[in-house]
Amino acid sequence: MQEWLTDDIRRLLCRPSDWRWIADGPPVDDDRHRRWCQRHREAHSHLEVLLAYRGETLYGLGEALYPVDTGSIIVFPGMAPHQLNYPPWVTAIEHIWFSLVAGRVTCRLYSLEGGRMRQLPVILAVLPPDLPERLHAAAAATGPSASLRLHSAVTELVATVVESETSATRPDDHIASVMQSIMQHLQTTAGRGASIAGLATVAAYSPYHFQRLFKRTAGCTVQAYIDRCRIARTRTMMAAGSSQKAIAQELGFSSPQAFSRWLRQHPVGESPASGESFEVP
Q: CA torsion sign, 73 to 77 to 80 to 86?
A: positive
pLDDT (tens digit, 9 = 90+) per residue, 127-159? Answer: 998 999 999 999 988 877 888 899 999 999 999
* CB-based contacts of 204, cutoff 8 Å, min separation 6: 106, 108, 119, 120, 121, 122
Tell me how far apart the alpha carbons of residues 280 and 187 are, in angstroms, rounded to a whole number: 7
Per DSSP, the residues of 23-88 read: GGS--B--HHHHHHHHHSEE--SS-EEEEEEE--EEEEETTEEEEE-TTEEEEE-TT--EE-S--T
Per-residue CA distances from 42 to 126, 130, 145, 184, 189 (Å): 26, 27, 29, 21, 16
pLDDT at 208 over 60: yes
Q: How long a stretch of residues is the chain?
A: 281
Judge whether residue 13 has pLDDT over 70.
Answer: yes
HEC-encoded secondary structure of 188-254: HHCCCCCCHHHHHHHHCCCHHHHHHHHHHHHCCCHHHHHHHHHHHHHHHHHHCCCCHHHHHHHHCCC
**Per-residue pLDDT, 89:** 92
Q: What is the pLDDT of residue 17?
A: 93
Task: Tell me if the pTM is above 0.95.
Answer: no
pLDDT at residue 172, as a whole number: 67
Residue percentage of the chain with pLDDT more than 90? 54
Longest distance between any two alpha carbons in the chain, whole Å? 58
pLDDT at residue number 277: 40
Q: What pLDDT sits at residue 167?
A: 47
pLDDT of 93 > 60? The answer is: yes
pLDDT band at 275 (very low <50, low <70, confident <90, very high): very low
Task: Report the C-alpha gap between 137 and 108 in whole angstroms.
Answer: 24
pLDDT, tens digit, 9 for 90 and up, residues 32-83 = 999 999 999 999 889 999 999 999 999 999 999 999 999 999 999 988 999 9
SS3 content of the chain, % helix, strand, coil (to 5): 45, 20, 35
The amino acid at 236 = T
Q: Looking at residue 4, what is its pLDDT?
A: 87
- Kindly list the structural domains of the chain, giving each domain's residue range(s) and its CATH number in brackets, ordered by start: 7-168 (no CATH), 169-281 (1.10.10.60)
| Confidence at 269, pLDDT banded by 50, 70, 90 | low
Q: Which residues contact 63 (CB under 8 A, 6 or more apart)?
A: none
Per the DSSP assignment, residues forming a β-bridge with 60 are: 65
